[in-house]
Structure 1
Amino acid sequence: MRDFTWHVFKQTGDIEAYLLYREMHNLGAAELGHAPGTEEDEGNVADEE
């Protein structure tokens, strides 16, 4: 389902599809024991100085 919402977002640019994709990603991360919104590829604000 997450891949489908990403595909819809890529094809249409629909922000609702992206938000649904992120919500499902965060829920999946929570099930695996990771804190929501902490991804390696998102970068660290402290690194942007």
Structure 2
Amino acid sequence: MIEFTWKLFSQTGNIDTYLLFKELEREQQPSSDEQVTERKEVDQPVF
């Protein structure tokens, strides 16, 4: 979906399409809270 949105924006220059692209891009990146939780899980020893 994100690739289609970027392609549509690059062809049309539509600002709303660009904003949708940025929103989709942001949703794909894990939040900083999720990254901290993942690091804690990795750092904890398994018994």
TM bucket normalised to smaller: 0.5 to 0.7
Q: Which has the higher contact order (CA 8 A, sep 6+)?
A: 2
- Residue 18 (structure 1) aligns with: 18
- Structure number with higher helix proportion: 2
Secondary structure of 2:7's aligned partner: helix
Identity %: 39
Pair 1:3-2:29 in alignment = no
Normalising by structure 2, what TM-score? 0.61
Runs of 5+ consecutive residues of structure 1 not aligned to the other structure: 36-49
Over 6 Å off, 4+ runs: none
Which protein is bigger by CA-based radius of gyration? 2
**Structure 2 CA distance for aligned equivalents of residues 34 and 6 of structure 1:** 25
- State the shift of 1:34 in Å: 4.9
Normalising by structure 1, what TM-score? 0.59
**Structure 1 CA distance for aligned equivalents of residues 25 and 32 of structure 2:** 11
What RMSD in Å do the two structures reach over aligned CA positions? 1.7
